[in-house]
C-alpha cells in the first residue's frame, strides 16, 4: 500500500494479526495503570475489535510491518461510525490504539500510518476524524480541538438522592431483550439538535453481553423502566476508578418530559451501583464522574456538584466542503427558523484551500457546491467569509460560536456585518450527547 522506507511496509490488518497486535498494544498503552505489565483490558479490546465487534474488524487496523521480521512495528485502528445532528448523518472515523513498539520509535511511523488512514477515509467519504490522546501531539497530524462531550460537574456520592423509584419509574440492569427499545431511543435522538452517536439493535446487544469480560471498553447498561416499557438508559463503568469514582458515559430519556422524574431515580441507581462496587473492592465510593456535557438534561436537573474542566477531542475534517454540504438541511432550517433570507444567489465560504459556494433560491439555502479557491480569501471580493478549517470545525460541531471564533482567530474574516450575522445564526452551540462506538 505505502512504503515507509525499505524497512517498513504499511498494510491493512488481518485476522492473523490479532495476537501480535494485542501484544503490541497491551505492552505500550496505559503502562502506568498496568504497573508496567501488559494491560489485560487493552489486549481484550484488541481481540474484540478483531473478532465479533458489530462495526469493526481486522481491516479497520493499519499496520506498519517490519519487513525483516514480518512483525507489526506500529499500528492503529480507525473505528467507523455515524454521528447525527438534526437528522443529518456525519460519517466519523475515531482513531484509537495508536502505538509504536519501543524499538521502532524514531521512524515517524504514526505520521506514516495517519497519512494512509486519512487517504482511506477520504476515498470512503468518512468526513470527520476524531481522536482523544496525547495533548498537542495530534495537532502535528492535522487535528485540532473542536469538540467536548464532557465538562459536567462530578456529583459527590453524599449528594446522590436515596429514592429508588419516582412516579412509577425504576432503573434496572439491561438485558439483550431491551436492545430493540434502546435502539429506538437512539434513533429518535438522531433528529434532535444535539450531536449523537446512535446504536442499532446489534450494537446494543453487543454492549450488553457481547464483549470479552476484560475489554477496557466494556460498560454496564441499565434501563429506565416504566413497568414493562423501556423509557431511557444509563451507561456506566464496571468498576470504580481513581479515588473511588464511578464513571457515567451516557444517559438518555425517550421523552424529554420524563427527565424531571427520571433524574432522581437515575442518580439513586448510580449511588447503589457505586456502593456495590465499593463493597466488592474495599475502596470507598466518592463520586460520580459524569462524562456528559454541562448542557445534558441529567446534569442541568441534577445537584450542582464539583466543577470539572472539559477535556476536548481532537477533530479533523478532510474536506470542509463536504462537511458543509452534509449540514445543508440543518443550516437551511436554522436560517429559516430565524426568518433570515440571504439577499443574493450565493454565499462563498473559503477555508484557505477549499471554497464552498452556498446557493440560495428566494433567500433560502438550496445547495452547497465546490467553489473556486482563491489565493487570498481574506481580501478576495468574491469570498464572503474566510474561515480556517479548524475554526470551521469548531463552528460546524457547535463547539464555539462565531463571536468566540472571531475573538481567537484573527484569520477568520467575514466580509461584512450581514455575513457575520448569517454565520452567527448558522452555527449555534450544540450539545455533544455522544457515547462513541469503540
Ligand atoms: C506516541 C507514539 C505512538 C509515537 O511513536 P512514533 O510515531 O513512532 O513517533 P516517533 O518516535 O517517530 O516520534 C515522532 C515525533 O513525535 C514525538 N513524540 C513521540 N512520542 C511522543 C509523545 N508521547 N508525546 C509527544 N510527542 C511525542 C517525537 O518526539 C518526534 O518528534 P520530532 O519530530 O520533533 O522529533 C509512541 O511513542 C507510543 O507508542 N507511545 C505509547 C503509546 C501511546 O501513548 N499512544 C498514543 C495514545 S493517544
Number of H helices, E strands in the chain: 12, 21
pLDDT confidence of residue 6 = 84
pLDDT score recorded for residue 1: 52
> Separation of 100 CA from ligand 1 center, angstroms?
8
Q: Cell numbers for 424, please give them.
A: 452567527
Ligand 1 neighbourhood includes 28 CB (under 6 angstroms): yes
Note the pLDDT of residue 2: 46
Q: Which atom of ligand 1 is nearest to the CA of 133?
A: 48
Q: How far apart are CA 425 and CA 80, in angstroms?
A: 30
User: Does residue 73 have a pLDDT over 70?
Assistant: yes
Asked if residue 241 has its Cβ within 6 Å of ligand 1, the reply is no
| Per-chain mean pLDDT for the chain | 96
273-282, 286-295, 368-377: segment of lowest average pLDDT: 368-377
More confident residue, 34 or 84: 84
Alpha carbon distance 159, 288 (integer Å) = 10
At 186 the pLDDT is 98
Give the domains, in start order, of the chain with CATH numbers: 2-126 (3.40.630.30), 155-310 (3.40.630.30), 319-429 (3.30.1050.10)
pLDDT for residue 133: 87
The closest-lying atom of ligand 1 relative to the alpha carbon of residue 74 is 8
| Protein residue closest via CA to atom 9 of ligand 1 | 108
Could you tell me the distance, in angstroms and rounded to a whole number, from the CA of residue 271 to the centre of ligand 1? 40
Ligand 1 centroid to 111 CA: how many Å?
9
pTM: 0.95
Q: What percent of the chain shows pLDDT beyond 70?
A: 98
Q: Classify the phi-psi angles of 425: left when phi > 0, otherwise alpha if psi is within -120 to 50, otherwise beta.
A: alpha
Ligand 1 center to residue 73 CA distance, Å?
A: 13
Q: Both ends of the chain: CA-CA distance in Å?
A: 25
pLDDT in tens, 311-332: 999 999 999 999 999 999 999 9
How far does the centroid of ligand 1 lie from the alpha carbon of residue 349, in Å?
Answer: 35
Average pLDDT of span 87-106: 98
Residues 322, 326, 329, 335, Cα dihedral to 10°:
-50
Residue-wise pLDDT tens digits, 142-183: 999 999 999 999 999 999 998 766 679 999 999 999 999 999
Angle between helices 417-426 and 328-337 (to 10 degrees): 110
Residue 306 in this model has a pLDDT that exceeds 80: yes
pLDDT at 85 over 60: yes
pLDDT digits (tens, 9 = 90+) for 357-367: 999 999 999 99
Nearest Cα residue to 216 out of 38, 60, 90:
38
CA–centroid distance, residue 46 to ligand 1 (Å): 20
Of the chain, the percentage scoring pLDDT greater than 90 comes to 94
Q: Is there an atom of ligand 1 within 6 Å of 237 CB?
A: no
Q: Is the pLDDT of residue 140 over 70?
A: yes
Could you identify the atom of ligand 1 that is nearest to the CA of residue 131? 48
Amino acid at each position: 500500500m505505502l512504503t515507509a522506507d525499505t524497512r517498513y511496509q504499511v498494510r491493512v490488518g488481518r485476522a492473523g494479526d490479532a495476537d501480535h497486535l494485542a501484544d503490541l498494544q497491551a505492552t505500550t498503552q496505559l503502562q502506568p495503570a498496568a504497573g508496567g505489565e501488559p494491560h489485560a483490558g487493552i489486549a481484550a479490546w484488541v481481540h474484540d475489535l478483531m473478532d465479533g465487534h458489530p462495526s469493526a474488524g481486522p481491516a479497520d487496523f493499519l499496520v506498519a510491518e517490519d519487513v525483516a521480521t514480518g512483525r507489526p512495528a506500529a499500528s492503529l485502528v480507525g473505528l467507523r461510525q455515524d454521528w447525527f445532528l438534526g437528522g443529518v448523518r456525519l460519517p466519523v472515523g475515531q482513531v484509537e490504539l495508536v502505538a509504536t513498539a519501543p524499538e521502532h520509535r524514531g521512524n515517524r511511523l504514526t505520521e506514516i500510518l495517519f497519512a494512509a488512514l486519512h487517504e482511506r477515509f477520504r476515498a470512503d467519504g468518512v468526513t470527520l476524524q476524531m481522536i482523544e490522546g496525547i495533548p498537542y501531539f495530534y495537532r502535528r497530524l492535522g487535528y485540532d480541538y473542536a469538540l467536548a462531550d464532557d465538562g459536567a460537574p462530578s456529583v459527590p456520592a453524599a449528594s446522590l438522592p436515596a429514592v429508588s423509584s419516582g412516579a412509577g419509574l425504576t432503573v434496572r440492569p439491561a438485558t439483550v431483550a431491551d436492545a430493540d427499545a434502546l435502539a429506538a431511543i437512539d434513533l429518535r435522538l438522531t433528529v434532535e439538535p444535539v450531536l449523537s452517536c446512535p446504536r442499532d439493535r446489534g450494537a446494543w446487544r453487543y454492549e450488553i453481553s457481547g464483549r470479552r469480560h476484560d475489554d477496557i471498553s466494556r460498560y454496564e447498561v441499565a434501563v429506565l423502566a416504566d413497568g414493562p416499557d423501556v423509557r431511557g438508559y444509563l451507561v456506566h463503568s464496571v468498576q470504580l476508578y481513581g479515588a473511588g469514582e464511578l464513571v457515567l458515559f451516557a444517559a438518555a430519556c425517550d421523552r424529554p418530559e420524563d427527565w424531571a422524574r427520571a433524574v432522581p431515580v437515575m442518580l439513586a441507581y448510580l449511588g447503589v451501583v457505586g456502593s456495590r462496587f465499593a463493597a466488592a473492592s474495599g475502596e470507598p465510593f466518592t463520586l460520580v464522574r459524569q462524562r456528559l456535557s454541562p448542557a445534558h438534561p441529567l446534569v442541568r436537573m441534577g445537584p450542582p456538584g464539583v466543577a470539572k474542566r472539559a477535556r476536548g477531542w481532537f477533530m479533523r475534517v478532510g474536506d470542509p466542503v463536504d462537511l458543509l454540504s452534509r449540514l445543508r438541511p440543518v443550516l437551511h432550517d436554522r436560517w429559516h427558523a430565524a426568518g433570515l433570507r440571504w439577499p443574493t444567489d450565493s454565499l462563498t465560504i473559503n477555508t484557505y484551500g477549499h471554497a464552498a459556494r452556498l446557493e440560495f433560491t428566494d433567500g433560502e439555502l438550496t445547495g452547497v457546491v465546490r467553489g473556486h479557491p482563491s489565493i487570498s480569501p481574506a481580501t478576495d471580493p468574491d469570498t464572503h467569509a474566510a474561515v480556517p478549517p479548524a475554526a470551521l470545525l469548531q463552528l460546524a460541531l457547535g463547539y464555539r460560536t462565531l463571536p468566540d471564533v472571531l475573538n481567537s482567530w484573527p484569520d477568520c474574516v467575514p466580509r461584512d456585518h450581514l455575513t457575520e450575522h448569517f454565520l452567527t445564526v448558522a452555527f449555534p452551540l450544540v450539545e455533544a450527547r455522544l457515547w462513541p462506538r469503540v
